[in-house]
Amino acid sequence: MKKMFRLAAGLIVLQLASPAMAEPDWMTELTQGKVLRWQFSPVTYHFSQDPEHKNVVMVGVEREHADARLDGLTLFTNSFGQPTVYLYPWGGVLKSLGGIDKLSFKWTAGLLYGYREPYENKVPLNFSGFSPAVIPALAYEFKPGWSAQVNFLGTAGLMFQVSGPFNFLAR
C-alpha cells in the first residue's frame, strides 16, 4: 500500500511540476487530439463486510479520444491486498447524461490480472490470475477537466475516484 501512496504522490508532483516540463515527441504522438488524465481512488466501499477485505487504493492513467472512446491502465491493491492491474483498451463516455452537462456515463472493458490463490474465485472467469472485466461508472465534472467518479464493481462494491488532466500534455 505504501508503494501506491508513493505513486499517487508522484502523480501529484508531476501534475504540479508539469508547467516547467517539455513534452517528448513520443508523448505528442500518443496524446495528439486526446485528453490524458491521471486517476486516484483512496477508498472502495464493499457491499459485504468480509473480515479479509483490505483497503483498496488505485492509481491510473486514462485517455479519452475525440470520438469519446476511452482506454487506460490502472494499478491497485485488490480487496485482498494483492497487487493488481486493469488494462482496458475498450471504453466510452456519454456526456451530458440526462441533460445535465457535467454528468457523464462511462464504461470500460479489458483484462484484470492479480486475483491469485487463495482469492482466484473472487472474480468471474479467472484463469491463472487473468480475468475479463467491464466497469460502468458515473462521473461528475466539478471543475473543467476535473471529475469525481463512482465505479460500479458488480456485486462487490463501489470505488470512489478523482481524476484530473495532465496539464503539460494539453495543446
User: Of 11-15, 34-38, 86-90, 142-146, which range is least confident?
Assistant: 11-15
Please list, in sequence order, all residues whose beta carbon lies within 8 angstroms of the beta carbon of residue 95, skipping any fewer than 6 positions away: 68, 101, 104
pLDDT at 6 over 90: no
> DSSP character for 127?
B
List the chain domain ranges. 2-165
Instruction: Note if the pTM is more than 0.75.
Output: yes
Q: For the residues 97-109, what does the mean pLDDT come to?
A: 96
> From its phi and psi, is residue 128 left (phi > 0), alpha (psi between -120 and 50) or beta?
left
pLDDT of residue 166: 83
136-168: pLDDT as tens digits:
999 999 999 999 999 999 999 999 999 999 864
47-101: pLDDT as tens digits:
999 999 999 999 999 999 999 999 999 999 999 999 999 999 999 999 999 999 9
* Dihedral (CA of 29, 142, 144, 93) sign: positive
| CATH architecture of the domain with range 2-165 | Beta Barrel (2.40)
